[in-house]
Amino acid sequence: MKDSFGRDITYLRLSLTGRCNFRCKYCMPEEGIEKLPREEILSFEEIVNLVRAASELGINKVRFTGGEPLTRKDLPGLVKMVDAIEGIDELSLTTNGSSLSGVAEDLSQAGLDRVNISIDAMDPEVFAEITRRGELSSVLAGIEAAKRAKLDPVKLNTVIIKDVNESEIGPLMEFAAAEDLVLRFIELMPMGEAAKGAIESLPLNKVEKIIKRKWTLEEISGPQGNGPAKYYRASRRNTSGKVGFIFPLSRSFCDDCNRIRITSRGKVRPCLARDEEYDLGINENTSVDVITTRLRKIIEEKPYGHRWEKQDTTAGEMSEIGG
């Protein structure tokens, strides 16, 4: 369905949990977040009914996010249930990849189409500094498992933090090209520690300039996913790959926004960059028709855009909202 600005809302990003085994600086406080009682988190049955309601409103793409969605038990079972819903054409997952090696094939067999994996460094020490507890080897194993399971495309998401992982731009480019993966650089958003000034973004135009010192960039159409990234064919000697840039702050894509987010508590966040949330107030006895009615009203009232271009910050941690 269309919102009041005529935008087709076709994409649902659904957080399965606020928990994560990493503590990435741009996503979660070092001490973690409060663990919610199980009854406050959407059950699989509630999620399935919610996705059924969303599909009746024209949403045909669903992405599971977190926190870390792989911390939910029996995720392949949920994927299978959602994949069976009429009208859902694409089902994807955003993960830190650390637990993916043991479940990638099961997820693929259950109906998962593709996966985005967060990776901000190829140096194990830099990686550990950013994630504050992560082991790079487990993520690399997850990436390899995703390729073997034919989850396609495998996209890598990277946030460059000033004075932390600028040196990793080149190694990440080399790795992605060698492994035939799609690498995307994403602007650091003014949330969590970034909102408090504890970490600072390296502007993507500077990232692009660093890449152009050694790579030739030729603009191309994006791979499957239809997101807001601007993509290029990156070439260097006998090596080539795909790289994308996502500018949520400096080059707003609000005109074409096609998504809503729902937190693991069942609260709708029409815009990641705004503070408004709407509680769907659902439980396992709430009918699909009731959820559809409530969701329709929220989509109709989806705001036009954010205020990040004015450097306004957004309340909440990325891990709780689902990025």
What pTM value is reported for the model? Answer: 0.92
Residue 247: the pLDDT is 83
How do the pLDDT tens digits run along the chain, 323 residues long? Answer: 999 999 999 999 999 998 999 999 888 887 777 777 778 899 999 999 999 999 999 999 999 999 999 999 999 999 999 999 999 999 999 999 999 999 999 999 999 999 999 999 999 999 999 999 899 999 999 999 999 999 999 999 999 999 999 999 999 999 999 999 999 999 987 766 766 677 888 999 999 999 999 999 999 987 765 568 899 999 999 999 999 999 876 667 788 899 999 999 999 999 887 888 999 999 989 999 999 999 999 999 999 876 655 555 555 555 566 65
According to the model, what pLDDT value does residue 311 have? 52
pLDDT at 201: 85
- Which residue ranges make up each domain of the chain? 11-321
Question: What whole-number distance in Å separates Cα of residue 310 and Cα of residue 172?
Answer: 30
Are the C-beta atoms of residues 247 and 187 closer than 8 Å to each other? yes
Amino acid in position 253: F
Rounded CA-CA distance 116/175 in Å is 15
Beta strands across the sheet bearing 90-95: 216-220, 230-236, 239-246, 182-186, 154-158, 114-118, 90-95, 61-65, 11-15, 259-262, 267-269, 278-279
Strands 182-186 and 278-279, by their bridges, are unpaired
Closest C-alpha to 180, from 225, 143, 218? 143
Tokens 């954010």 found at: 306
Angle at which helices 204-212 and 169-178 cross, to 10°: 70
pLDDT of residue 319: 55
Confirm if 277 and 263 have CB atoms less than 8 A apart. Answer: yes
Domain 11-321 has CATH 3.20.20.70: yes
Nearest to 265 by CA among 35, 62, 53: 35
Q: Who contacts 285 (Cβ-Cβ below 8 Å, separation ≥6)?
A: none
Structure-block tokens of residue 245: 């840039």
> Which sign does the torsion angle of CA 57, 62, 68, 69 carry?
positive
